[in-house]
Amino acid sequence: MIKALFACCYLIITLNSMAQSPTGSSFDFNKKVTVAQLREDLKTLKDSLEIIHPALYRYANKRRLDSAFNAAGKLIDKPLTQAQFYGITAPIISMIGDIHTTIEPSDETFNFHNLLIYPSS
């Protein structure tokens, strides 16, 4: 069920990335982030979870999560968009099995999508 939900979210994000920017929006949904920055963000995510999460290994043991982070790092071999990076990191977050641990798009991405759904008159 969770895999289907993530697949639907990813499909919606991908389809929306092909749309034209709303009038007046300066946000570039297709902007690529460098490999170095993406790898740093992935490392920051892992380090933050290890430091802050009170029960990180309750549903997925350390070896399984480490393996998932290593596999994600290998997928970052070229610049990616925020949506593509989300597609790599969201499954890792779901492995944790904690409904209070989530990742969300940036405020810019969120506002961009709101403009697509609710364009101003």
pTM: 0.71
Is residue 47 over pLDDT 90?
Answer: yes
Q: Where are the domains of the chain?
A: 31-101
Residues sharing a CB contact under 8 Å with residue 25, sequence separation 6 or more, in sequence order = 112, 115
* pLDDT of 3: 55
In tens, the pLDDT along 67-102 reads 999 999 999 999 999 889 999 999 999 999 999 999
Compute the mean pLDDT over every residue in the chain, rounded to the nearest whole number: 82
Find where tokens 């982030």 sit: 33
